[in-house]
Amino acid sequence: MRVLITGGHGQLGRALVRTAPSDSEVVALGASDCDVTDPVAVRAVLARLEPDVVFHCAAWTDVDGCEHHPERAWRVNALGTQHVAAACFEAGARLVYISTNYVFDGEQDEPYHEFARPHPLSVYGASKLAGEEAVRALCPQHAIVRTAMLYDATGRNFLTTVLRLAAEQPRLRMVADQYGNPTFVDDLARALWQLVERSAAGTFHVVNAGNASWYDWAQAIVETLQLPVAVEPIPASEYRRAARPPRNGTLVSLALPTLGIELPDWRDALARCLARRD
């Protein structure tokens, strides 16, 4: 199986590379090798590599940056995905598009399953949803995978931010009234390979089980590593930011159990990720 990863140098792209099945031939390209905003370049890459599967991970993931520069968000996340979807159709490749829990407004109290109605509150969420629509319209052989709160032991993410802040400050103030599923990229990557093995088509919510607020998550990191800092809960109204994340961004899957795919609880995943740091 020949596999192309867009956004291959990002945190999920790197996890897909390190969890790849041994019988797969994987090419992971960064923005300088395959700029998804350039339709000619995207088509040329697919024609050259002839992949069976494309994991489209490339995105502008700076949620607050997308609010300040919406045109760039639409160009990369929506138009870029349109180019990738059209090129996959032309090349006969199956497309796995990575989307987000930010497509939901978070106003309901229950977790969101795959058939809940999207209603994004942010430019990032709206541009990723437009990407989903392009995939559905242009490439029939697709899986759309919505995930949330990705982290790894290295790189820029909430876990590494908490560790940096904990080294600088005696007290961390964390939002306690916004929820989601902290998801270890390695667990997501393994589930993505399982979806491909099963030729799964449609929309899937793929996250670690259970949910947490930013406060719960920071508290779990601090407790697991026994860091000498206090974590203080604050309301989202006290943490000003450009984008409005969903209050309840918790995802759940109706589809994965039917495929025999199950992800571990987020606390178990966090412990494994932190153990890898040492």
Residues that bind ligand NAP (CB under 6 A): 6-7, 9-13, 30-31, 34-37, 57-61, 76, 80, 98, 100, 128, 147-150
What are the Cα distances from residue 240, in Å, to 102, 130, 132, 164, 244? 18, 26, 29, 20, 9
> 115: which 2 tokens?
């058939």
**Shortest gap between Cβ of 192 and ligand NAP (angstroms)?**
10
Q: Is 45 helix (H, G, I), strand (E, B) or coil?
A: helix
Nearer to ligand NAP by C-beta: 125 or 219? 125
Nearer to ligand NAP by C-beta: 3 or 59? 59
Nearer to ligand NAP by C-beta: 40 or 170? 40
**Shortest gap between Cβ of 137 and ligand NAP (angstroms)?**
18
Quote the Cα angle for 202-208-214, to 5°.
Answer: 120
Helix ranges restricted to H, the chain? 11-18, 39-49, 63-68, 70-73, 80-91, 123-138, 158-168, 185-197, 214-225, 266-277
Nearer to ligand NAP by C-beta: 42 or 260? 42
Residue whose C-alpha is closest to residue 86's, from 60, 66, 56, 61: 56
**Shortest gap between Cβ of 84 and ligand NAP (angstroms)?**
9
Nearer to ligand NAP by C-beta: 181 or 219? 181
Residue 128 phi/psi, 5-degree rounding, is: -70, -35
Specify whether 124 is catalytic: yes
124, 151, 179, 215: the catalytic one is 124
Describe the strand order of the beta sheet including 202-205 as a list of residue ranges: 25-29, 2-6, 53-56, 94-100, 142-147, 202-205
Task: Decide: 130 and 177 in contact? Cβ < 8 Å.
Answer: no
Residue whose C-alpha is closest to residue 111's, from 218, 175, 205, 191: 205
Distance CA 92, CA 86 (A): 10
**Shortest gap between Cβ of 155 and ligand NAP (angstroms)?**
6
**Shortest gap between Cβ of 30 and ligand NAP (angstroms)?**
3
By annotation, the residues acting in catalysis are 124
